[in-house]
Structure 1
């Protein structure tokens, strides 16, 4: 989230799209209720289903699953065409005036940008950048008239997304779409603000990253980034998924979203050479110029005294990627039989990775499978026959399975990082059952045993294990407190105060107060630079529980610690105009007082940097401003474009020759498994229920009582067409498998007109499997396609093709 949960209360308009906060995030949704009650905010919901969020909205607009990018580009076209943008914000705080390189183009007929190679489905992105002048800075045209200015290129690109095209592609009635545009555009003035709340309904598509970027572009045009009540706010699917990505459990990044080294970067110098953060505008801060300080401090945290300047601080010990090993790539290798063993820690891939049939075939080829979990998961029981729910032959599966029982969150101490980047410390409430150990103890013993084997026997790549600094008080059981201190970072030597060399800023061993004090000479450590400040010499900042709000802006700066730097709204310098005054007193947040920046929050800007320096509020970007033109950052293009899901009931109305994302990775065998609308005419989508939490709570009797079994939601029109009655058993099938459940006939899922064709949607909850207290089910991922987002590889769970047929008798016993 760019903003905080509590800041939603400051919003004048709330757009929920790609999510269903009232059901999937009921605790967080209370801030929407607060905004409606205290701020008279209007709630807009755009969703394929009339959800509980929609039921309390001021306006609901239906949409076909998988067409959100087209819808948002339609809103952008409306704003530009009707001059409903926040002109001063856009002119000063975005790249609209920057000139793009000659040679950049978009082929509207073919649906691809310049540089596309159809043979390998990749782009040469050399033209996706700005023109650089003789002075080394970006060439600009502040009149915005140049045909290659970002503004003109965006205006032309979005012009195709008329209200009529949005209705044709999305199925959103034109009058409803225009009403949404009108409500959204009411915030393009600095007096009002809109917040966007989204979840997996946006991310779980083969173009999900571009949909989210489109939302960011929309908010920039409105002037709604960096302001109270604004932002683009991701509602995370777990209470600690934000922490997971922060600490580097994504395959392509290290802690703090630093780059994972690649084969082409054998040295630290080579790694840095690929990260040119030189300012592109005069006076811009380009804060990523400090990247090496963050990276070296991370290496010192990992390898301690073994990391020296002479050995690149241990950089050579980091693995070097030949490609990204995301979940889909890993299980593709498992399916190919190239993986001997797989460790699942708090992970149930048999139900959470697409194409369950492929998963079972792959897991059956492993030599061993390890599950570290409080529960017996479906994955750890993949080899058991459970009838239709899991029809395997155990005699043909030789995989050895190990179960290491772990404690759950309430049986351990540590931190959670919530959606709004706030790190909150949690205390242990109970001991774990039986022989269960916490995750730290399990991982520590595994590490120590592996290191002992290397010490005794040697082996390939020994140094990355032997050189790790493991200097905890009890090596077999590091404490959560020790780890939090390590993540924060400390000084390794006495560090002088840069403002006064006669003074000492830190003594050796002291905890650092801010990532601004990290150094690239090996004298500081930090396990995750964005968390520096979370555990200082003042103590554990994440354990604070002071709910005072001195500003009256719903900013609770002494509650936990929000990364970075305890900042609750990112890019908050943009809440003031170029001179440092608030856009309006009503939305005053961070302002210039003549000497420094200050206000309700920690300024996201160097405090003494005067407004007349024109450094730009987006200090992480080399341009100093926000990017409407993404340059080379996205795999499928610098502007978003509507691409159909890989399984779609219709051709792409804008460019039928290139219907789906041209840059999305598809493995050889999976392309043949895609279905067509001839055999599978209906759009399917998946979602969560309030009564369940993923595949965890199906093991709990009370949750199972409230929602005991898998079901299938369809419209009355589809039920009539297929002769299905309410409560009747139905079979839903895709080109990969089938599931069975009881039909729930509901007006909540409307039939839509798409390009003159009636398109029906089939909705299914994700939570059911064959282990637990709920009734056995096959697992809805038996249906889903094995393809992901072109940038993040997040699987396409939210839009695929199925058929549905009525059944008689029981389905799964």
Structure 2
């Protein structure tokens, strides 16, 4: 074979460079063992700690070790944990260790080893940085908060459930009405859509159930970076169940490269794509009638006066003065008061017929033009997901994220996805359901406990300005999620826990704000306009939600109090006084955390694990004590809750001096801050992690 002089020199240089690199690596390998071997050696000399990784919405159990120099290392996951342990994958029963593929805990521990995570409080003022003691930081934070009247709070997803409980009680006592969480961009539309459609927020099936799916639709999400361990379950369904993976997103990602079909759509058109799938499924009658008749209202007859958007020039019936009168939005009832049904699904006023007429406007032609895709791409996704799961023998799971929810029509998009899953019979069956991809740790627990604007704890709607207690209960009953008696019981239990009694007087103490004025976006806009004195940030970074607008707001605020395990990178760019209290990272955290699958897990460091960072319970308890004489805080029923275990017992609810055993025991005389957690301490169990079903 002939070779030129130039090619010979290139090969010679490449070979010499490769040889030198190999020799260097070999010498380093002899002199210095690999990082994995160093971790194993240190793990043998130290005591392991099973810590709950709360850096995304899945919450895996990680094995963390500490050497003789107090350096922290990740030694892997707990082998028998259903989310992240060892799994037998494929016909060869290959053991897959899921948590070792997740970058989130590794990045956090690398930051600790690099000295990037502070251990003591710090004060940033006029470009200068000053270390402080915890007592001095709490005293100064109390002075800043107590001297201000225009205050807002952003946070929750970085706290434990016990921290969220104390923080919301503190904010109620300080009469702070502007409260929201950065995770709103995902949890806000998800909560509004799922509560209205299914009656509860959160994922409908556990992550271990994904392996039973025959098709997977991922829309507006990148599980590979946002919830890495969840992506392994999606890939396992591909390997073990030959599931078809369809990714619909405006972003290209490494996860999408693993899909059978990647549909690259225009940003903001995710909801239109889902509506097109529903319209085509209804047109072809690709649904399971027996499932729909048994589990939904598809056979109910709708009032003749009701008109959908295709009948009334793009508007529903009842629009008057910019608001809808829903008196025509009713079922047809017989003389006994029962809803009239057509189980053959042929009546023109049956809900199925109304749906077919409503969604007929979303044909594939308009959907493809809106989304910027071809007809072949649309039907590739349709056949892979709808065509594969429209029979009762197969099911599919829908996974969605911020690409769908963080839009002006995010709530409609999630609700449309829920309607699609109900039509296909994928709700309440193995391998089906809806899974939100949430990169925020305790976002579900924070929203449960009232950090989502527009809601009280337990997803009761927030009271409106000037609203009386009786009017509020009637409004709750009109939402059809609660009967009047249920709404009154839940409200009384909440007021009993907060103020010690449920009355018109204590109801009037609740801070009021219009829901549109208390979102994280409205809060930062108000701060940028100079309408706020200060903001309390708890376990989150507001810049993740609003970007550069947060930097502008920092130039108009007087102070910001931050409690987080991460150092606020924007503190030195602020004209406001920034008081930073270092919180505990996940391997030192104490308390319970709720993942998006509504599993509550406890974590705490072992005895002898010394740390200078305070728990959220300790910090918030000290802050409440320093502010005990401010505003309505003196009216708040505040016992001596020194530990996270004590707070968990209080969060679990009481009836007199007896702990509540479960949610069914709630009465108007009981005290429960959030009815979803009533009796949670009484139901503590040690789960059998060896159960492969989870």
Q: Verify: 1:438 aligned to 2:638, yes or no.
A: no
Shift of the 355–58 alpha-carbon distance from structure 1 to 2, 3 Å rule, reads: closer
Question: SS at 1:160's partner residue?
Answer: coil
2:498 & 2:292 partners in 1: Cα distance?
A: 42
Q: Verify: 1:516 aligned to 2:684, yes or no.
A: no
Match of 2:520 in 1: 327
Calculate the aligned-residue CA RMSD, in Å. Answer: 2.8
Q: Verify: 1:339 aligned to 2:532, yes or no.
A: yes
Match of 2:376 among 166, 170, 175: 175
Q: Deviations over 1:156-182 (max 9, x none)?
A: 222222222222111222122212212
Matches within 5 A, 1:652-801: none
Match of 2:329 among 123, 129, 132: 129
Q: Verify: 1:150 aligned to 2:150, yes or no.
A: no
Cα offset, 1:71, TM superposition: 1.0
1:39 & 1:361 partners in 2: Cα distance?
A: 50
Cα offset, 1:415, TM superposition: 1.4
Match of 2:301 among 66, 75, 98: 98
Cα offset, 1:115, TM superposition: 5.2
Are the aligned partners of 2:499 and 2:635 in contact in 1 as well (CA < 8 Å)? yes
Cα offset, 1:109, TM superposition: 9.5
Structure 2: 5+ residue stretches without partners: 1-202
Cα offset, 1:545, TM superposition: 3.8
Match of 2:673 in 1: 527
Shift of the 313–234 alpha-carbon distance from structure 1 to 2, 3 Å rule, reads: farther
Match of 1:738 in 2: none
Matches within 5 A, 1:340-359: 340-349=533-542, 351-354=543-546, 356=548, 358-359=549-550
Match of 1:486 among 650, 653, 656: 650
Structure 1: 5+ residue stretches without partners: 280-284, 384-396, 455-461, 493-507, 557-813
TM-score computed with the length of structure 1 as normaliser: 0.56
Shift of the 206–128 alpha-carbon distance from structure 1 to 2, 3 Å rule, reads: farther
Match of 2:486 among 290, 311, 314: 290
Are the aligned partners of 2:308 and 2:358 in contact in 1 as well (CA < 8 Å)? no
Shift of the 116–532 alpha-carbon distance from structure 1 to 2, 3 Å rule, reads: same
Match of 1:546 in 2: 688
Matches within 5 A, 1:301-320: 301-304=497-500, 307=501, 311-312=503-504, 314-320=506-512
Match of 2:245 in 1: 43
Match of 2:573 in 1: 382
Match of 1:219 in 2: 421
Shift of the 139–340 alpha-carbon distance from structure 1 to 2, 3 Å rule, reads: farther
- Structure with more contact order per residue of length (Cα contacts < 8 Å, sep ≥ 6): 2
1:278 & 1:135 partners in 2: Cα distance?
A: 24
Cα offset, 1:379, TM superposition: 3.7
Are the aligned partners of 2:468 and 2:504 in contact in 1 as well (CA < 8 Å)? no
Shift of the 107–83 alpha-carbon distance from structure 1 to 2, 3 Å rule, reads: closer
Match of 2:473 among 265, 268, 272: 272
Match of 2:65 in 1: none
Question: SS at 1:401's partner residue?
Answer: strand
Are the aligned partners of 2:559 and 2:578 in contact in 1 as well (CA < 8 Å)? yes
Q: Verify: 1:165 aligned to 2:371, yes or no.
A: no
Match of 1:84 in 2: 286
Match of 2:598 in 1: 421
Cα offset, 1:300, TM superposition: 2.0
Cα offset, 1:47, TM superposition: 2.0
TM-score computed with the length of structure 2 as normaliser: 0.65
Are the aligned partners of 2:221 and 2:402 in contact in 1 as well (CA < 8 Å)? yes
Q: Verify: 1:405 aligned to 2:582, yes or no.
A: yes
1:331 & 1:50 partners in 2: Cα distance?
A: 30
1:378 & 1:100 partners in 2: Cα distance?
A: 57
Q: Judging by fraction of residues, say which structure has more helix.
A: 2
Match of 2:638 in 1: 470
1:352 & 1:262 partners in 2: Cα distance?
A: 29
Number of equivalenced pairs: 487
1:446 & 1:275 partners in 2: Cα distance?
A: 34
Q: Deviations over 1:728-777 (max 9, x none)?
A: xxxxxxxxxxxxxxxxxxxxxxxxxxxxxxxxxxxxxxxxxxxxxxxxxx
Question: SS at 1:342's partner residue?
Answer: strand
2:209 & 2:636 partners in 1: Cα distance?
A: 41
Shift of the 68–447 alpha-carbon distance from structure 1 to 2, 3 Å rule, reads: same
Match of 1:8 among 194, 210, 222: 210
2:444 & 2:360 partners in 1: Cα distance?
A: 36
Are the aligned partners of 1:298 and 1:527 in contact in 2 as well (CA < 8 Å)? yes
Are the aligned partners of 1:114 and 1:127 in contact in 2 as well (CA < 8 Å)? no
Q: Verify: 1:60 aligned to 2:251, yes or no.
A: no
Shift of the 127–107 alpha-carbon distance from structure 1 to 2, 3 Å rule, reads: farther
Match of 2:496 in 1: 300
Cα offset, 1:362, TM superposition: 2.9
Are the aligned partners of 1:277 and 1:289 in contact in 2 as well (CA < 8 Å)? no
Q: Deviations over 1:333-377 (max 9, x none)?
A: 22332211211122222x223361x43333322222222223331
Cα offset, 1:197, TM superposition: 0.8
Question: SS at 1:424's partner residue?
Answer: strand
Matches within 5 A, 1:638-657: none
Are the aligned partners of 1:411 and 1:432 in contact in 2 as well (CA < 8 Å)? no
1:547 & 1:45 partners in 2: Cα distance?
A: 31
Match of 1:447 among 613, 624, 627: 624
Shift of the 354–125 alpha-carbon distance from structure 1 to 2, 3 Å rule, reads: farther
Are the aligned partners of 1:199 and 1:237 in contact in 2 as well (CA < 8 Å)? no
1:109 & 1:259 partners in 2: Cα distance?
A: 31
Cα offset, 1:414, TM superposition: 0.9
Shift of the 411–106 alpha-carbon distance from structure 1 to 2, 3 Å rule, reads: same
Question: SS at 1:381's partner residue?
Answer: helix
Shift of the 380–8 alpha-carbon distance from structure 1 to 2, 3 Å rule, reads: same
Question: SS at 2:532's partner residue?
Answer: coil
Q: Verify: 1:363 aligned to 2:509, yes or no.
A: no
2:262 & 2:525 partners in 1: Cα distance?
A: 40
Cα offset, 1:245, TM superposition: 0.9
Cα offset, 1:323, TM superposition: 4.2
Q: Deviations over 1:613-654 (max 9, x none)?
A: xxxxxxxxxxxxxxxxxxxxxxxxxxxxxxxxxxxxxxxxxx
Matches within 5 A, 1:521-670: 522=669, 524-536=670-682, 540-541=684-685, 544-549=686-691, 554=693, 556=694
1:275 & 1:140 partners in 2: Cα distance?
A: 27
Shift of the 217–365 alpha-carbon distance from structure 1 to 2, 3 Å rule, reads: same
Cα offset, 1:232, TM superposition: 1.2
Are the aligned partners of 1:185 and 1:222 in contact in 2 as well (CA < 8 Å)? no
Match of 2:399 in 1: 197
Q: Deviations over 1:74-123 (max 9, x none)?
A: 111111111211111122322222304615331689644445579xxx53
